[in-house]
A and B are shown apart, each in its own frame.
Chain A
Amino acid sequence: MAKNVLLVDDSSTMRKIVSRSLRQAGLDFGDIYEAGDGLEALEVLEKENVDIVLSDINMPNMNGIEFLREKSTRDGIKDIPVFMISTETGDDIIGEAKSLGAVGALKKPFTPDKVSEVLGPFM
């Protein structure tokens, strides 16, 4: 069944590129929702039927790590998988993200082929 995706990034450009890359990668997805930071992402998750979240780390207001931490405390949404898409690739921050429930990470910049390879198993 096609999965609904939430893209979380403060850059509208990056949200468009990720959305386009998902289409180009031929992945099976349903609706795509967007949020500009972690706070907006939590609002979307509480209202919409989202199956997987693709989230940046460096964002204003609530960053990706804070988003994971807050999401993990909310019963209705805590089990929705989150995949990090970020320029941040250090073992420490990715390790922290995974310890808070992130299921994987994709480094920016990326190609559509890389999106397909990395996200395919989750879609």
Chain B
Amino acid sequence: MQLDRFIIDATTEVFASMVFMELVAGDVIREDRADLGTNISSMIGLAGDLKGLLSVHCPRQVALAVSGAMLGMEPEELDDDVKDAMGEIANMVAGGLKASLLEAGSNVELAIPTTVVGNSIRTSGFSGASTIIVPFSVPDGDFAVELNYVLG
């Protein structure tokens, strides 16, 4: 399965439809990175044929720009509106990944997203999990979508 392609397609569709912001995918990273310069991370659990955690990691300025574009406002802090918007981004990216997996013959179930705010946030999967990190660039900076997973 081309999980990195599924993530890129899902994220691109979400940004084109709901954020109205062009993005460019960077080179995929297949190792656990200690620090992605993250100030806000939205995470959603996956269960079924693929188990794991999909996370959207954003620095502050990108989260403010993305959530502002979604909501039609100009947030100044990583407040509840920004956290909710980033959680919905993670939810829709995971939904797109789920649809691609279903077409590939794998069924997954999605949990409800959780968002945390802090400095240098790092998420890690369970023991033996594989990692895919897809970096993206938008006009206000870079962010990343990370998938920690095991198959079967």
Contacts and interface: CB of A to CB of B under 8 A. Distances in A.
Interface stretch (A14-22, A38-46, A70-78): A14-22
Interface stretch (B26-34, B93-101, B134-142): B93-101
Binding site of A, secondary structure by majority: helix, strand, loop or mixed?
loop
A59 B110 contact: no
B67 A13 contact: yes
A99 interface: no
B132 interface: no
Binding site of B, secondary structure by majority: helix, strand, loop or mixed?
helix
A110 interface: yes
Given A20-B72, A87-B96, A90-B102, A14 B88 contact: yes
A88 interface: yes
7 contacts: A10-B112, A13-B70, A13-B81, A86-B95, A87-B94, A88-B98, A107-B95
Interface of B: 13-14, 16-18, 67, 70-72, 80-81, 84-85, 87-88, 91-92, 94-96, 98-99, 102, 107, 110, 112
